[in-house]
Amino acid sequence: MRPQVNCNLKLFFKRLMMAIGVSAGLVAGPLPAHGQTPGAPAASAPGAPTYADLATLADASDLVIRAKIRKQTALKPERAPGLAAGFARLYIEADTLALIAGRRAVGAGLAYLVDVPLDARGKVPKLKNREMLLFADAVAGRPGEVQLVAPGAQLAFTPELEARLRPILTELYESSAPPRVIGISDALAVPGTLAGESETQIFLATEDGSPVSITVLRRPGQRVQWGVSWGEIIDSAARPPSPETLRWYRLACALPAQLPSSANLARDPAARRLAAGDYAFVMAQLGPCERRITQAA
């Protein structure tokens, strides 16, 4: 049993844009307290980045750089338009320790602007000699300068953080990396011949038009089965993505919380409820896209 629907995904024209703020700089992510050992586990600090945080930043960046801050200069408020209260805008000069991932080369030294929160005394934090992970893009026409891609795009470096990040980068740079999901194209639920039997297919819209679909199968006396097909062929034996993988991230962090009514092709009220219920089941199985640091939206 398989519903007859158009398998071509209708590419959405609306994309989640990275909020780059004012061009002068972006809000930094959590920094360790002054004097804290840079090698302390990232998970021990409140606000440590989640998988979704790291995947979002890595996906948006042309460059992921490990850098050591050599010099910081605080800009006067009148030269920092859009600066939020309780923050300072810093001009940072840093040494490149490693290009962890990148689609272009980076020099031995770099400079960038970043907004950082003032400490409890209202003072600018001392960042000299601290190691950071930067998620950035090169600045056109300005060699040696980079721009952070989003709020939270400067993170205090730890070996543990790098170890969590590298598998994400590996998946992102693979030729078989899953496409960016940007919404729902169509969904259709078809009841079976037996009571409690049904199949729901949900076709996703992707940024590059690649076909991706979700299938939910219900059989009497059996557990609900669901999976994702990443290609033209809709595989009824497809499996769900493993948690904290790029395929999981593409779904859990991009799909709407509820099935849009306009995407539900069924006309029968019972079939529409079934499609909406199966979509809600999938979202519950994926779990929340948890974020802890300021991110682009």
Cα–Cα distance between 267 and 145 in angstroms, integer? Answer: 55
pLDDT of residue 35: 33
Q: Torsions phi, psi of 72, nearest 5?
A: -130, 140
Per-residue pLDDT at 7: 36
| Predicted local distance difference test score (pLDDT) of residue 289 | 96
pLDDT at residue 90 in the model: 96
Residue range 26-173 forms a domain whose CATH class is mainly beta
Query: Residues in the chain with pLDDT < 50?
Result: 1-46, 296-297
Residue 259, pLDDT score: 98
Distance, in Å, from the CA atom of 46 to the CA atom of 63, rounded to the nearest integer, reads 26
Q: What pLDDT does 48 receive?
A: 87
**Dist. CA 145–CA 136, nearest whole Å:** 10
> ∠ CA 64-161-294 to the nearest 5 degrees?
70
pLDDT score at 28 = 38
Predicted local distance difference test score (pLDDT) of residue 270? 95
Q: According to the model, what pLDDT value does residue 295 have?
A: 54
The pTM of the whole model exceeds 0.95? no
Residue boundaries of the structural domains of the chain: 26-173, 181-286
In contact, 5 and 265? CB cutoff 8 Å = yes
Residue 47's pLDDT is: 66
